[in-house]
Amino acid sequence: MKIVERLIASIKPYEKNPRINDGAIEAVAKSIQEFGFQQPIVVDTKGVIIVGHTRYRAALQLGLKKIPVHVAAGLTPAQVRAYRITDNQTSTLSSWDEEKLIVELMALQKLDFDLDLTGFSASQLADFFATEAKPGLTDPDDVPAPPDAAKTKPGQIWILGNHRLMCGDSSKPEDLDQLLAGEPIHLVHTDPPYNVKVEPRSNNAIAAGLSSFKATHHQGFDVSRNPGKAKGTTKKLRAKDRPLANDYVSDEAFDRLLQAWFGNFSRALQPGRCFYLWGGYVNCANYPGAIKSNGLYFSQAIIWVKDHPVLTRKDFMGDHEWCFYGWKQGRVTSSLDRITLAMSGQ
């Protein structure tokens, strides 16, 4: 496509242009001032505008003498008329994904960019950023049963006041970048799978799991001890009783997951800022290496002492959980937040 600069006086608008653009001229003029004239005006061989009437009027308002122009040669008179209509009409067929739009607008806001230049009005921007909860029509404590089919999809972000909750993959940089929208991380508190094969204990959970995941369900110990638990069930499998993803893989596969998880958050964590990684004693063998190789410093283990032991099939039941505490290497902070856990249980 050939683009040339022409005197604005050498082109003219189409007299029968059906598109009303009075309300867009000011916004387009601001856009041209900020970003430059990035889209040429399309004219026919006689210099009559086919596409770009609003840009033309904005250029006049700005007092521009020359503008970029593309001459659409080779079009029939019918095609020229149709092109004018088609270009305007096709732009009305698309819509905004408001969740992603808000993320982008918030990122621009953090960069101190003038959001008025986006073309949205002040009231529209206010609506996008409104976080005040609207009163519901039902009792807030009357929580409905979850739907049979999940509505949440990977990549969706829920705006919760000043917080954001994402249905995503912690190992994917693109998911973390979309969630953070340019914001750095000052603290990480996470509880990844321990690779210890967490299993549901209730009879219905075991039966439902065996019915739903015959090929992958691994709860053979309970079944061999009590064959009655292997009977099928018509009850629905609860979400919390489903097999936990990435919790029963080979050591090599789990090491790769740790590198992806820890490497992803380390990339966004500010130097000198802390992390709290929950795990078990089995993770003493695999956490430290993955922590160190991703520019993180493992300082010490924090022990959460519980009031009651955790039911397991181990020879000795534990009454505590492990937390791997440290910070990202680099700039050393003058002080670190410390958590003191009183043995009284507070």
The widest CA-to-CA distance across the chain, in whole angstroms, is: 91
Strand ranges in the chain using DSSP code E only, listed in sequence order? 4-7, 41-43, 49-51, 66-71, 157-160, 163-166, 185-190, 269-279, 296-305, 320-328
Q: What are phi and psi of 181, to 5 degrees?
A: 50, 45
Supply the pTM of this predicted model. Answer: 0.52
| CA–CA gap between residue 227 and residue 242 (Å, rounded) | 20
Domains and CATH numbers, the chain: 4-90 (3.90.1530.10), 95-132+151-183 (no CATH), 185-196+246-346 (3.40.50.150), 203-241 (no CATH)
Per-residue pLDDT tens over the stretch 31-77: 999 999 999 999 999 999 999 999 999 999 999 999 999 999 989 99
Per-residue pLDDT tens over the stretch 272-328: 999 999 998 888 889 999 999 999 999 999 999 988 777 666 778 888 889 999 999
Judged on CB neighbours under 10 Å (0-12, 13-18, 19+), 261 is buried
